[in-house]
Chain A
Amino acid sequence: MSESIQLEYTVPGNDFTRAGEASADLKSTLKRLGLPAAEVRRIAIALYEGEINLAIHAGGGQIRVTVDDHQVEMILTDQGPGIPDIPKAMEEGYSTASAQVRSLGFGAGMGLPNMKRYTDEFDIQSTVGVGTTITMRVKIG
């Protein structure tokens, strides 16, 4: 009975005009599905942060979303440089973004912390030189 919904997105690297399209699409889909507005907002914000990270740090990546009747799961994978020190990267304000990226208003070091804050479950796996996979889950009542 309980069906699930699968959505997939590809995020291009370093294209700031397009980063945000996946979270915008997911948000409108979840609204159409009538999911609770507060959770939809948290999901959209967390995914937007993830998209920006993929664009800035990883040269792009893939997003897979699974919506079922009790949660929304978002898996972000990339084949970027990887993160050498994950606890450090999770600190608020820590950023490796270039001065140029910062001058655009990004790279404030809040991406990963915000993704963790806005979701109910957050997991990050990374191997330097191989890539990073982030899994986020938000429960829906």
Chain B
Amino acid sequence: MEGFIHSVTLEAQLCNGCTNCIKRCPTQAIRVRGGKEVIEAERCIDCGECIRLCPHRAKRAVSDPLTLLDRFTYRVAIVPPSLYVQYNHQENQDLVLDALCRAGFDDVFEEAEASQLISQATSRILATGSTKRPVISSACPAVTRLIRVRFPQLIQHVLPLVPPMELAARMARRRAVERTALPPEKVGCIAIVPCPAKVTMGRAPVGSSHSALDGAVAVSEIYPKLLPLMDGGHTPPHRAAAGASGLGWAAAGGEAHGLLGVENHLVADGIENITRVLEDLEDEKYDSIDFVELRACPGGCLGGVLQPENPYIARTKLRAMQRSVGGQVEPMEGEIPPEMLWDTDLTYAPVLELGGTRGERFERYNRMQTIQRALPGLDCGACGAPTCEALAEDVVRGMAQVTDCALLRCRQLEARLKGLEKGGGAEE
């Protein structure tokens, strides 16, 4: 395991200890302690849902600054298709790619090109049946991480292919070394990323022992820098090579629609929706599905928390761009190249279990139930845990006290006051 490297962090001075984020975290990784929110590192999957929800803008994704480019002799931007449709005045991908080259990159590599290869490899894997059906996409790193901590039974269904961004970086580095004859370490492959999960992906990949990515710059960071470089006063050189199917991966459903010969697929987006689908897949409630595409963000990568544009408007622009580009994915010839495949197994991380031997777990669970019965059951979050059940669990884990419950404290005080009124004071 990779030592729990994360990109989602808290700006402590902005956090006022409200409970919006703790309630909606898909792995119950967040608590409020001492008036500030705390993330339990081993549970966090970097989905970015708390960033989306925080009304105080206290949650942030720590990505790399553009100054990272200075560390390399030759810099390649790994460009996600969603970036093209963040702007209003773009007519084609070349405007955006050209702006990147003028913003300090020496070359660009379109993630959509890698996506097309992954579509080909996926069709092949589905045809050979080497991965258990239904095959679940591994493109969204938050989904892969969610499966790893919550759905051990589904691990063997996950497509053992690296995500497009990683494949793009591997291809880009090879191409740069061929073109420049520089040693590989002088080449910087830097991804432009829409979400914290993809920031973490380069630093702590899942399924790969190493990543070809040298850094990740948030779309929100590069967006304003590219804006003045797309003045439209000149015709940009032609660099774009990706076809409609690769571009489609920016939106939920794009990956599934790009698969050849796959009739029955399921597409779901948004962290709560995909969790429900995973629960049902685990229970084998659908038996005729071949492929499952899940995206943690609503609308897919277009809905990433680091994207400035409204994802639904972006989707309309994406469709127009796909129509103008066209193109078909051809079936893959020959074997799937090793650089596309995982080189390490995805393993279950039992971070949501009650620890200890089986006997200890049973004892803890029963103690938890007893505590929970004493709690008001309002799930108000005032104690800092998302639900009364979570507080009971925290008490059993030794991380909280029953008296953290404000209502329970209140009731105890009332009882004591009543005792005093009766002139007893005997409770003291």
Contacts and interface: CB of A to CB of B under 8 A. Distances in A.
Interface of A: 1-5, 23-24, 27, 29, 31-34, 37-38, 40-41, 44-45, 48, 67-69
A44 B283 contact: yes
Contact of A5 (B153, B279, B366): B366
A117 B366 CA distance: 30
Contact of A31 (B352, B362, B363): B352
A27 B354 contact: no
Contacts of B365: 5, 29, 32-33
Contacts of A38: 153
A5 B283 contact: no
Given A32-B353, A69-B359, A41 B366 contact: no
A45 B350 CA distance: 21
A27 B283 contact: yes
Given A32-B352, A41-B153, A48-B285, 7 more contacts: A24-B279, A32-B354, A32-B365, A41-B282, A41-B284, A45-B284, A67-B362
A1 B363 CA distance: 9
B153 A37 contact: yes
A54 to B, nearest CB: 17
B353 A2 contact: no
A27 B350 CA distance: 15
A19 to B, nearest CB: 12
Contacts, number: 56
Given A33-B365, A34-B354, A41-B282, A1 B152 contact: no
A34 B361 contact: yes
A22 B374 CA distance: 22
Assign chain B's interface to a size class: 20 to 34
17 contacts: A5-B365, A24-B279, A27-B282, A27-B283, A31-B353, A32-B352, A32-B353, A33-B354, A33-B362, A34-B354, A37-B152, A41-B282, A45-B283, A45-B284, A48-B285, A68-B362, A69-B359
B411 interface: no
A4 B363 CA distance: 8
Contacts of B366: 3, 5
B358 to A, nearest CB: 5
B153 A69 contact: no
Contacts of A29: 365
Interface in B339-382: 348, 350, 352-354, 358-359, 361-363, 365-366, 369
Interface in B109-152: 150, 152
B274 to A, nearest CB: 16
A44 B361 CA distance: 20
Contact of A3 (B152, B285, B350, B362): B362
Contacts of B359: 1-3, 69
A34 B365 CA distance: 11
A1 B150 CA distance: 29
A4 to B, nearest CB: 7
